[in-house]
């Protein structure tokens, strides 16, 4: 089958959309399907796709959303695309409806019921997916919750991170772009701890290395900066605790069972806090503008001192998300697409 993805990545938009689409894309490629990405002209995310050897096509520069929708509609027809995944916060109801009129089976990835979704399927594999009511949408199929957890292959095959009585390794990851330059603040919160190894992930679109290095120099523990590490799963496995943004990395941390403190970096991450509180997981410190280095220090200290609470949190985390999410997505979407009525629309 021919599978397409419409997603972007940039310093401003982050890399989460491309990361999760690439995880699904890799699953299709493993099954022998052809994969094409369609992405915004001239973005760093597009360059990342090409460096990863994905087939990636630039959409025309400067188009309105309406014009871009028509351009993509024709491209899908000409390429004979069977299934299209759309993952973006920057489109419109019209755009998705227009894709839903194409010959492709259209799956929209969602986090917080952003659009009306006049298309074939909506996919929300987040922890809190069931919180959203899609009854007012014209979507035909719903793929919701932990069964559809989107993971890169490295996480699906990696064992869960073990619990150790003494915390020795802390992982810091603020997303692929660290759009709020928050990593230095986290390091400020960790500067008084001794005899730790602090691993800092420097993502592909980050531009604040100088600030991070300055903050690291003030830490009493050893700080290692990993620039776009080859295996995030391995880093998580080696860690005893993580401090993370509230985006796509959350699913990876939960699947690994790595107890983590979450500091929200974008509005679309706010729902994570209420979900964790309902699940009796007191792991979200709040929105980044409201969290001080001192609060980070206090929260880390409590987890360092209490191995039993870390065990409780880990056990709960491991029960919430499937490691087979990508396989479930591919299996179910292919079945849906094969039985869906063909529209046979010619542009």
Residue in this structure with the two tokens 């630039």, named with its chain if needed: 58
Question: Domain spanning 2-151+323-339: which CATH class is it, in words?
Answer: alpha beta
Residue ranges of the chain that CATH labels 3.40.50.2000: 154-318
What integer pLDDT is reported at residue 347 of this predicted model? Answer: 64
pTM, 2 dp: 0.85
Q: How confident is the model at residue 274 (pLDDT cuts 50, 70, 90)?
A: confident
| 30 three-class SS | helix
Residue predicted with more confidence, 93 or 14: 93
Total Cβ atoms within 10 A of residue 212:
22
In sequence order, which ranges of 31-90 are alpha helices (DSSP H)? Answer: 44-51, 65-79
**Rounded to whole angstroms, how far apart are CA atoms 12 and 335?**
36
- Take residue 47 and report the two structure tokens written for it: 């360059």
pLDDT at 344 over 60: no
154-318 CATH, one of 3.30.413.10, 3.40.50.2000, 3.40.50.11810, 3.30.1490.100: 3.40.50.2000
pLDDT at 268: 80
Q: Does position 231 have pLDDT exceeding 90, yes or no?
A: yes
Q: Rounded to an integer, what distance in angstroms lies between the CA atom of residue 107 and that of residue 116?
A: 13
**pLDDT digits 0-9 by tens, 179-193:** 999 999 999 999 999
What pLDDT is recorded for position 246?
A: 93
pLDDT digits (tens, 9 = 90+) for 280-328: 999 999 999 999 999 999 999 999 999 999 999 999 999 999 999 999 9
Residues of the chain with CATH 3.40.50.11190: 2-151+323-339
In the three-class reduction of DSSP (H, G, I as helix; E, B as strand; rest coil), residue 193 is classed as: coil
pLDDT of residue 239: 98
Among 91, 177, 179, 107, which Cα is nearest to 142's?
107
Instruction: Give me the pLDDT at residue 343, please.
Output: 65
C-alpha 49/C-alpha 179 separation (Å) is 20
């Amino acid at each position: 089958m021919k599978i397409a993805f419409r997603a972007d990545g940039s310093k401003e938009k982050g890399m989460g959309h491309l990361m999760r689409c690439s995880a699904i894309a890799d699953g299709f490629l493993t099954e022998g399907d052809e994969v094409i990405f369609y992405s915004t002209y001239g973005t760093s995310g597009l360059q990342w796709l090409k460096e990863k050897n994905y087939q990636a096509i630039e959409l025309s520069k400067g188009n309105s959303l309406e014009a871009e929708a028509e351009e993509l509609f024709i491209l899908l027809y000409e390429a004979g695309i069977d299934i299209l995944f759309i993952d973006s916060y920057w489109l419109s109801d019209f755009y998705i409806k227009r894709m839903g009129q194409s010959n492709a089976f259209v799956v929209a990835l969602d986090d917080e019921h952003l659009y009306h979704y006049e298309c074939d399927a909506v996919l929300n594999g987040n922890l809190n997916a069931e919180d959203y009511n899609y009854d007012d949408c014209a979507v035909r199929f719903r793929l919701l919750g932990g069964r559809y957890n989107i993971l890169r292959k490295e996480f699906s095959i990696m064992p869960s991170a073990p619990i150790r009585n003494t915390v020795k390794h802390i992982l810091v990851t603020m997303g692929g772009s660290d759009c709020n330059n928050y990593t230095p603040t986290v390091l400020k919160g960790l500067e008084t701890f001794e005899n730790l190894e602090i691993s800092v992930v420097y993502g592909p679109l980050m531009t604040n290395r100088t600030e991070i290095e300055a903050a690291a120099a003030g830490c009493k523990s050893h700080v290692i900066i990993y620039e776009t590490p080859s295996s995030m799963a391995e880093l998580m496995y080696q860690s005893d605790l993580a401090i993370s943004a509230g985006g796509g990395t959350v699913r990876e941390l939960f699947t690994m069972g790595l107890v983590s403190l979450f500091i929200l970096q974008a509005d679309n991450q706010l729902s994570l806090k209420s979900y964790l509180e309902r699940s009796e997981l007191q792991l979200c410190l709040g929105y980044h503008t409201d969290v001080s280095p001192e609060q980070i220090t206090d929260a880390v200290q409590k987890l360092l001192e209490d191995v039993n609470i870390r065990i409780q949190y880990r056990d709960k985390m491991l029960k919430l998300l499937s490691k087979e999410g990508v396989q479930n997505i591919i299996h179910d979407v292919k079945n849906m697409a094969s039985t869906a009525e063909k529209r046979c629309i010619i542009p």
